[in-house]
Amino acid sequence: METPVDALIKDEHESPRWKKSTVVFVLGGPGSGKGTQCANLVKHFSYTHFSAGDLLRAEIKSGSQFGAMIQSTIVEGRIVPSEITVKLLCKAMEESGNDKFLIDGFPRNEENRIVFENVAKIEPAFVLFFDCPEEELERRIMSRNQGREDDNIETINKRFKVFVESTLPIISYYESKGKLRKINAAKPSEEVFEAVKVLFAS
């Protein structure tokens, strides 16, 4: 079934803006501070910040036919195909009018990475990895009061296990290509951003 974003991907007459963009993938375990640091980068360096999960939720909320298909996939307990997530990212980049993007929490696994490269046909400038011990991540998540149902010890441990199994191979891949920028995220937020700023100011 052709989706509302397929025409954008298939356009042969004009090269989409995102193909000339600077893309930075932002990875880190749950509670590592990705969202906070991305907000800082948007403010200081004029990047546009996208979260793959937020884009999927927004598409569902829009009530579109495409959103309904995504919702039914989630309700049935299936994983949303990487191609759908990537197409939403490409659509969001094209519509943003910017040419510098932070993509938060993506790619989550090897399939995400391969599909992004094949569909968007660009590689990230680098991958920003917020490295933080599991004990510190657990402490942070348990102390924050965001009302999230998945903020309990058992679920946190499961989320961290999934992160290790799925995302660490991605981190190793980009490290082998010389594209990994690792930040010690166990430090206070202000210190973390000082280290991050050096990467983006250069």
Q: What are the boundaries of each domain within the chain? A: 22-199
Residue 36 annotated as part of some ligand binding site: yes
Q: What CATH topology corresponds to 22-199?
A: Rossmann fold (3.40.50)
Q: Provide the pLDDT for residue 3.
A: 53
Q: Provide the pLDDT for residue 146.
A: 56
Residue 4 annotated as part of some ligand binding site: no
Interstrand relation of 48-51 and 22-28 (parallel, antiparallel or unpaired): unpaired
Residue 139 annotated as part of some ligand binding site: no
Residue 148 annotated as part of some ligand binding site: yes
Residue 32 annotated as part of some ligand binding site: yes
Which residue do the tokens 């049935």 mark? 76
Residue 81 annotated as part of some ligand binding site: no
Q: Provide the pLDDT for residue 93.
A: 93
What interhelical angle do 82-96 and 52-61 show, nearest 10?
90
Residue 61 annotated as part of some ligand binding site: no
Residue 196 annotated as part of some ligand binding site: no
Q: Check if the beta carbon of residue 164 is closer than 8 Å to that of residue 34.
A: no
Residue 176 annotated as part of some ligand binding site: no
Q: Provide the pLDDT for residue 144.
A: 66
Encoded tokens for 30: 């749950």
Q: Please choose, from the candidates 86, 187, 168, the residue with its C-alpha nearest in 3D space to the C-alpha of residue 127.
A: 168
Residues in the chain predicted with pLDDT less than 50, given as ranges, are 1, 4-5, 7-9, 11-13, 147
